A and B are shown apart, each in its own frame.
Chain A
Amino acid sequence: MTTSLWHQHILPFGLLLGLLAVATLAGDYLLHQLNLVWVGRYLGIPGTILIIISLIYSLRKRKVITAGNPKSLLTFHEFTAWLGSLLVLIHAGIHFNAILPWLATVAMSVNVVSGLVGKLLLDQSRRHVQGEREDLQLRGFSRFEVEQALFWDAVTLDAMTKWRKVHIPIFIVFVMLALGHIISIFLFWGWV
């Protein structure tokens, strides 16, 4: 794998994911320090609402709705889903209790990673590998030599493509598990 692919694409991906982890830990720490742990119990609600709002892009992409600029809606989707995930992670991290909501959290986290792969890595990496291939061909390398030089890039790209494909299935799993958690809360919790 060339170092530029690493620096230009994978590192920013790691940083954005790392930022989510750091923000989660910082949020959890602050709530504990400020004696506001109870707030964490309710962060799941705004987090879920943000994630639901982020789905406007998915509706636009599948032409369920026709209004809105897809590019702007994608940015909106990325932002609201990231922020919603952060709130849900803080909510989940406050304390480990039942298994079902934690399975939902794991599914959501996988979903975030696969979403970030799509946002930061896949398209740019495709362009990067294609550019490298054309450059090597122009410099007179044989087809075999080009494929050999780009072997690890191609493997990485292939893995990312597969990883990207789990975004929707994992999202469905996340929705089902989250629904189970939400229904159980409504069923057993005393809201009044």
Chain B
Amino acid sequence: MNNILKTALAVNLIVITVLVFIFPQLMIAPGKLISGHKQLDTDCFACHVPFSGVASERCVTCHKPADIGRLLTTGQPLAKPRTSSPFHQQLNSQDCVACHSDHAGVTRFMQQGRFNHALLQKATSEQCQNCHKPPTDSLHQQIADHCAQCHTQEKWVPTTFNHTQYFSLDGDHNTRCVTCHVRNDYSHYTCYGCHEHSPASIRHEHIEEGISNFDNCVQCHRSGNEHDIRDGDEKRNSEKDDD
């Protein structure tokens, strides 16, 4: 390697090194900082601890956990809070970077709109409506609370519940949820919520067929088709055997 080339390379490397220290936000930072932290552009160690990343302890020196979601760091009230009630006060642990990143390049790698509900205290994590707007479709308008009966905290869709697996909502049974699920309790049902079925008529029909155990209708009837009866014969036979 000739001396001119060596000198040129050395000068270039020195210039680049100097630029790293003068413009760290351009030379080494993974993208722009969020606008609220613009004043920290050249002060990497305002947030970063050498060799161990961003420390939440440094975040909370400005962002007081008790004020997050309520007040700005300047002490003024938040004009448009993102959630109807603050929830940072109910987190299990203080791990800011589990959800937040200030650099555009890092934010791209975070799955947007994903929140690990395990970070919340149990009681708070069950109060979905504090952060989520209830769906306004006709089904959900009939339901309040108890989202976890059908939805997990991992994903809203798909729901874990398939109604047809238990009872097909066909024919005359395509009705309002509250007809069968009273008191907003979707873990129980009743077949006596409509005019068609009454305890007396059901009892009469089943006793006539020699069936005495008919409390759990969907154990045998999974649709409105009266001929679609599951385990009916086995049940009748087992009752006869018991006799």
Interface residues of A (CB under 8 A from B): 37-38, 41, 95, 97-101, 103, 168-169, 172-173, 176-177, 180-181, 184, 186-192
Contacts and interface: CB of A to CB of B under 8 A. Distances in A.
Contacts of A184: 20, 28
Interface stretch (B11-19, B72-80, B123-131, B143-151): B11-19
Interface stretch (B44-52, B63-71, B178-186): B44-52
Given A98-B27, A173-B12, A189 B53 contact: yes
Contact of A169 (B5, B48, B52): B5
A44 to B, nearest CB: 13
A45 B50 CA distance: 20
B20 A190 contact: no
A51 B109 CA distance: 26
A97 B105 contact: yes
Nearest to A102: B27
B217 to A, nearest CB: 44
B51 A187 contact: yes
A177 B9 contact: no
A98 B30 CA distance: 6
B1 A168 contact: yes
Contacts of A172: 9
Interface of B: 1, 5-6, 9, 12-13, 16-17, 19-20, 26-31, 44, 48, 50-54, 97, 103-105, 108-109
B1 A188 contact: no
Given A41-B109, A173-B13, A180-B17, A97 B29 contact: yes
A184 B5 CA distance: 27
Contacts, number: 65
Contacts of B48: 187-188
Contact of B108 (A95, A100, A186, A188): A95
A190 B50 contact: no
18 contacts: A95-B31, A97-B30, A98-B26, A99-B26, A99-B27, A100-B16, A100-B28, A169-B6, A169-B9, A172-B9, A177-B13, A180-B17, A184-B28, A188-B44, A188-B53, A190-B52, A190-B53, A191-B53
Contacts of B108: 37, 95
B16 A177 contact: yes
A181 B27 CA distance: 9
Nearest to B5: A169
B26 A190 contact: no
3 nearest A-B pairs in the assembled complex, by CB-CB distance = A190-B53, A97-B105, A184-B28
A190 B97 contact: yes
A180 B24 CA distance: 12
Contacts of A181: 28
Contacts of B27: 98-100
A98 B27 CA distance: 5
Contacts of B54: 190
Given A98-B30, A188-B44, A190-B54, A37 B17 contact: no
Nearest to B26: A99
Contacts of A188: 28, 44, 48, 53
Contact of A97 (B1, B12, B16, B31): B31
A191 B1 CA distance: 39
A41 B109 CA distance: 9
A173 B31 contact: no
A42 to B, nearest CB: 11
A187 B97 CA distance: 17
B15 to A, nearest CB: 11
B1 A169 contact: yes
Given A173-B12, A187-B50, A190-B97, A180 B20 contact: yes
